[in-house]
A and B are shown apart, each in its own frame.
Chain A
């Protein structure tokens, strides 16, 4: 299976990169863009055919390494 993982700063934690991009978008004239959040995107192949097992593994990877849950949140998608 393939896992696609997104890690972003938690809501409520200041994201200075997001703010800088928001200001840049504003100066470009995109006045309708707000709440820019910057994150990381990771994908990986899992030697696993059982979706439930894959989910347990990916969740554990996120909790232990891929995200620092003090400051970051994560979400993932699994596909065959």
Chain B
């Protein structure tokens, strides 16, 4: 599998994503500078976490205009897998590849800690090795992760099973207290209607190998690899 990790000025989780795909899973990884206009030859693209363009104006608002984002839009429209983690999720929202917007965390604090998320939809290319309802422990690190969308969009997210991850307790109960940032409906990650674009606030690349003390994040990368291998075996991208 060929994975492209996009590097914006201010990305800081790009090398962690590269490390996980390349060193933990043995995949081919290219770093894609934000000025690139083509994603030819890639099976999946990751928009990593960080603080692209210093979070100026709004998180992800400026990164959306990077030349590479036109290529990411085309890539997504052609069915390529796109994963946005944290700031990558914020960029996908600003670019309109996913619905909704991020507000400042309800507490106003930058929150960096472990969270539990429940896999609400295990039939996606990003969660296919998970069981429905499985609980993953994955850390968050953000100040703007308070997901918001209007009631009509929220209803359509529900109806189309686009909510992929919800913050929950360790035993998988979705409660207001288990939501770290005030996110609507405890939303931690959503996919697009077509199912090939996922954005999530937690950082699976920070917990993808046993030596980190937690490898729950592996499931997301392994799902993507599994999904690509299945597609290749039937001859489509």
Residues of A near B100 (CB, < 8 A) are: 70
Chain B interface mostly? loop
Q: How many residues of A contact B (CB 8 A)?
A: 12
A17 touches B108 (CB 8 A): yes
- How far apart are the CA atoms of A45 and B58 in the complex, in Å? 22
Chain A proximity of B193: nearest CB distance (Å): 17
A residues 49-79 near B (Cβ < 8 Å) are 65-66, 68, 70-71
Interface string of B134-152 (1 = CB under 8 A from A): 0000000000000011100
Name which of B105, B107, B148, B149 has the most chain A CB atoms within 10 A of its CB.
B148
Contact B61 A65 (CB under 8 A): yes
Which residues of chain A have C-beta atoms less than 8 A from B103's C-beta? 9, 13-14, 16, 71
- Bound-state CA distance A9–B106 (Å) is 14
Main secondary structure on chain A at its contact with chain B? mixed
Answer yes or no: A24 CB below 8 A from chain B CBs. Answer: no
A44 within 8 A of B: no
Residue picked from A9, A14, A70, most chain B C-beta under 10 Å = A70
Nearest CB of B to A37, in Å? 13
Residues in A whose Cβ lies below 8 Å from that of B101: 68, 70-71
Minimum Cβ distance to chain B for residue A78 (Å): 21
B182 within 8 A of A: yes
Q: A residues within 8 A CB of B182?
A: 14, 16
7 contacts between A and B (CB under 8 A): A9-B103, A16-B182, A20-B108, A68-B61, A68-B94, A70-B101, A71-B148
List residues of chain B with CB under 8 Å of any chain A CB. Answer: 57-58, 61, 94, 100-101, 103-108, 148-150, 182
Sort A-B residue pairs by CB-CB distance and give the 6 closest, nearest first.
A70-B101, A71-B101, A16-B108, A68-B101, A16-B106, A16-B104
